[in-house]
Amino acid sequence: MARICLSLTGRTIAEDLAVLDLYRGQIDLVELRADYLEMSEMLNLRAFPERAGLPCILAVRRRSEGGVFDEGEGVRLVMIAKGLTHARSDTSANFTYVELESDFRVSAVEEACRIFGTRIIRSRYFFEGPPENLDSAWDELAANLEETPKIAVMCRNAEDLARLAGWAKGLPSREKIIIGMGPHGFATRIVADMFGSVMVYSSAIVAGLSVAGPGQPDPATLHDVYRFRRIGAETKVYVLGGGVSSLGSRSPQLHNAAFASAELDAVLFPVPAENAREFLEAAEALGARGAAITVPHKESILPLLGSVSEEARAIGAVNTVLRGPDGIWHGFNTDTIGFERALREFLGRADLTGLRVTLIGAGGAARAVAAVLARLGAKGLIVNRTLSKARELARRHDFSWAYNDERSLDLVLGHADLIVNATSIGMSGEEAGDPFDWYEFTGRETVFDLIYNPVRTRLLQRAREAGCVVGNGLGMLRHQSAEQFRIWTGREPPADYFE
């Protein structure tokens, strides 16, 4: 089972040790990134393993390899030698590993590692994406069976992740480290065992240290959100498909807590993708059994699925997929039930008869919202930057439609009991904005934003300052996620799912 390694990037040994103490219960070993240390700390390198009290990796990473060391190879060699010399008979007082790049071949250092029991991690980094011939690169790293080969590849997209996952499955069983760097490589940090990795690297983000590598999570995220130590070969994989902003979603926290409460060996994590096709390819390469779908893939994924539920087809968008035993993907939409339940809780009423509502947006989420508003008896107005899309959606439900700008002020004022934002404008990770920035709130409106991250968008903040009652989409997320749980597992979600 893969272990969690904390990469320490403090300026001093004392700072690194203080941060280590904050995470001690969440990690299994620690990497001292000596390239971040002040040069005056060189004499203290040797004492670090004993003071740390955990298996330790020594790394002095060159800037060309993603580190910050640029004092020259001679100085770097001296630092590595300082860390390895005067080895103790008690091996716990020595560095367990030292990382040496594939082009760093110094026989004296390698011999010292063999004598003192320090294992070499032989590494190579590809920051421009996977090399054309991964096998050739691997053969060079894996030639010495006494060393631990490490290959780190920048995943530029979900396609790179799928390629890396497929390639890693064919590697022989031995101690090795496979890393997909960047947001699109996040899966390699969560299901490291699937890639055959003996460890996953993390950074002390919460403690304020510099992130040691692109895409490294905080140990608390691995430990608390993803239950990393419980993930194994038999763990069922579910994924979240969306853009890079999906890395900030609350879905993993909700679903993984539910899996834990239901005592299911399962995990959900985000797989950012540029398009729906690449997402599904990556999901299949990771062996995913199901997925939650968010923007921008809710509509574009439809033609790629083997079947779509009647409700999802009527809405024209999917937010949940299940992969059958035959490998065929089946699509569903739980946005409607999620929104309806959340809206009823927010408004404290069972129906919307007589309520005049402005709905901002005409995409997949807006179509689910419009269906609920119509079913509950509201009189609706759809506003959108593209009038034809607003008109198309409005006609489905006998609603009015208008441009989302000042030209529609009189219409909006006549439909301002409730204003609902169903666009992604204002979402964390997206370009900050306000989808209704031209409208001046009177304070009599009730405003609901499907976005929940940030908790209060610019739209909600403006409305609240004007005296409006406001609410966000976290309740909707919880209810729609509960339905996803039912679809994926065939079971009722645990009682504490909504806490």
pLDDT at position 485 is 97
* Max intra-chain CA distance, the chain: 83
Q: What tens digit of pLDDT does each residue of 362-421 get?
A: 999 999 999 999 999 999 999 999 999 999 999 999 999 999 999 999 999 999 999 999
Residues 434 and 350 in one domain: yes
Mean pLDDT of the chain: 95
Task: For residue 442, count other CB atoms closer than 10 A to its CB.
Answer: 11
Question: Range of 318's domain?
Answer: 241-333
Last residue of a domain, one of 288, 315, 333: 333
Band (431; pLDDT cuts 50, 70, 90): low
Residues 118 and 133 in one domain: yes
Q: What tens digit of pLDDT does each residue of 234-273 get?
A: 999 999 999 999 999 999 999 999 999 999 999 999 999 9
Last residue of a domain, one of 186, 202, 232: 232
pLDDT of 496 strictly over 80: no
Band (304; pLDDT cuts 50, 70, 90): very high
- Which of 257, 428, 332, 438 shows the shortest CA–CA distance to 449? 428
Q: What percent of the chain has pLDDT over 90?
A: 93
What span, in angstroms and rounded, lies between the C-alpha atoms of 3 and 6? 10
pTM: 0.93
Task: For residue 326, count other CB atoms closer than 10 A to its CB.
Answer: 6
Taking the CA atoms of 395, 399, 400 and 402 in sequence, report the sign of the dihedral they define. Answer: negative
What span, in angstroms and rounded, lies between the C-alpha atoms of 400 and 411? 9
Residues 324 and 340 in one domain: no
Residues 201 and 124 in one domain: yes
pLDDT of 499 strictly over 70: no
Band (91; pLDDT cuts 50, 70, 90): confident
Mean pLDDT confidence for 128-152: 96
Work out how many domains the chain is built from and give that number. 3
Residues 95 and 218 in one domain: yes
Residues 115 and 225 in one domain: yes
CATH of residue 341: 3.40.50.720
**What's the order of all strands across the beta sheet hosting 236-242?**
266-272, 236-242, 290-293, 320-323, 329-332, 307-308
Task: For residue 415, count other CB atoms closer than 10 A to its CB.
Answer: 24
Residues 82 and 157 in one domain: yes
What span, in angstroms and rounded, lies between the C-alpha atoms of 161 and 186? 9
Which residues, 6 or more positions from 221, have their beta carbon under 8 angstroms from its beta carbon?
202
What span, in angstroms and rounded, lies between the C-alpha atoms of 246 and 255? 14
Which residues, 6 or more positions from 14, have their beta carbon under 8 angstroms from its beta carbon?
none
Query: 236, 298, 379, 389: which is the annotated catalytic residue?
Result: 298
Band (88; pLDDT cuts 50, 70, 90): confident
298 is catalytic: yes
50 found inside a domain = yes
What span, in angstroms and rounded, lies between the C-alpha atoms of 227 and 257? 9
